[in-house]
Structure formats: structure tokens, C-alpha cells
A and B are shown apart, each in its own frame.
Chain A
């Protein structure tokens, strides 16, 4: 017979305690990440409301302050874009919590609103920055995943090159957001990755920096 059988269950209890502590720690860690994203989102929402008011002021009461409106919009674009990247990174690392679907939908809505505002400012203030909407899938297939990551990296390079002259707005095609669906149908966007330049020119598949520069130059 096995001697000292108690060691088997004592070890099991001890392991279970360590394991549950680990899982709890994991939940806490992932939960705190989600919380930090949500806190950040709340802050951005307030900033966005503030920015919208400022824009309204600039556009309705003081049309000579277009420069400030554009600057405000660009700064906001960068913050939203970076938060989106953080959200994506955290989601990839979350193993225990469910995916951050609602948070992603909220971000997407914010970005749509921002895009519409960018169109408006561009029109009202007659500025020449480029609105580049990048349509991607939140849950891509294997091949799409590589294409999307390639296009994302290319777009980051492009953004670094153009800085404030390029408004980069990534939008998910598959998060069931009505406004994005409407834009998708309006511009006949059927696959990811796709690009929409200045609300006119649709590009499907991967486009490298040189090609995009050429297109932007011709379009501009």
C-alpha cells in the first residue's frame, strides 16, 4: 500500500490554493487593465465633449480660429489612436476575462464621430490634411490577419511620415455598428484591409508607403 497517503491530498489542497491565488491574481490583473481602459475611455469621452464644444465655438462664433480647431482635432486623433492600440494589446493578453467587445464598440463609435468631425472641420476650415480611414476586421481569418498587420505597420510608417497632415482613423468592419455598415455599403467595401482616402477613393488589399504617397499626392 502507498504510505503516508495524506501527502497526496495535502499537496492537492496546497496546489489548489496556489493555483486559485494565481487565477485570482490573473482576474485582478486583467480586471485592472480593463478598468484602466474604461477609465481612460471616460476621460477621452469628456475630452471629446470638450473638443466638440470648442469646435462648435470656433466654427460658429469665431471662424478665424480654424487653426486651433484643427490642432485640437489632430491631438485628439493621436490619443484615440494610441488608446485603440492599447486596448488591442490588452485584449490579446487577456486569457480569463471575456473579450472587450463593448469597449471596442464604444471606441469605434468615438472614432466614427471623430471622423465625421474631421470631415466637417476640413470642409469648414478649408484645410488640406488627408482623412485616411482604415477598415479592418476585429476577428480576421489567418490570411487577413497577416494582411491587416502588414497594412497597420505600413500605415503607422505613413502616419510618422506625414504627422499632422494625415488623419488616420482605423474602423472595424465586423463589430455591428450601424454607421460603419452604412459607410461600408456607401463605398462598397467588401474586404479587409481596405482604405478610404478623403471619403472618395477606395483601395482594397495592401498598399505600401510609396503607393499611398503617390495616391495621396495625386488626390491632393
Chain B
């Protein structure tokens, strides 16, 4: 959710499109992933399955905003009025996103092949880097920026997480949430 807010904020600053409708596809994807996890849990008779996270592809979103919307908008603004250009940039990005979806469906066919034939270190190294930077460092920097506010809750979280063990699950969630 943090990422969505960030992107919406950035887009608002650019003043190109006011709001996006992400909710429906988030609903679809997350329910589908939960369904997959339930299927897996039923198949393997376990109750400790972790559902995969589903959300917006952040690099793709930046690519769309800065490579498709921005040039379309500024290429049009000199000869047309503002509202028309905003709509045009939105529609062009939507059409491009539609094509992206179709290509994704086509790539489904090769997915398992790619996964089996790529060394897993190559796949995991970039995702771990993303995890350290986006999920850990990016969340810790605001904490370090306002220590007078953040260090007491930070200490509370750390103590709760590494001590006791009773509240571990809610603590995990909190770190991700914040």
C-alpha cells in the first residue's frame, strides 16, 4: 500500500492524472493468490503456507509514468488544451498496459522453462537486493530522520520482536506495515 500511495503522490505532483483505479485488480490478484495457497495447503496437508504478495510492479510503473505518459502529455500540450492531453496520455498508457497484459499471458507459456533453466542464485540475488533497499533501508531512513519521534516505537518493535515470542506475528506485520 505504501508504494501505491507513493506513486499516486508522484503522479499528483506531475498533475497528469488525478487518481487511478487499482482496487479491482488488487482484489482479483490477492484473492487468486489466496486461492492458490489454499489449494497448495490442501494438496500438501499443511497449515503453514505463506501466500505470495501481489501488487503494483514499481519499476514498470515508473517506466510507464516517465517514458509513456510524460512524453505523450508534453508532446500534445503545445497544440491542444490541457484536459484533452491528460485524457490522451491516460488512454495511451491504458492501451500500452493492455498490451503488457497480453504479453504477460503469452509469457506464461515459458515461465516454468525459464525458472528451471536459470540458476536460482541469479533469480534470488536481485529480489534480495530489492528487499534490502525497498523494504528495509527505505523504511528505516524515515526512522533515522526523525529520531525524537521514531526511536521509541522502533525500540518497542525490536524488543517485542526479539524478545518474548508471543507477539511475533503481529510484530512482523507491523514492520511491513510501517
Task: Decide if A and B are genuine partners.
Answer: no
A interface vs B, CB < 8 Å?
none
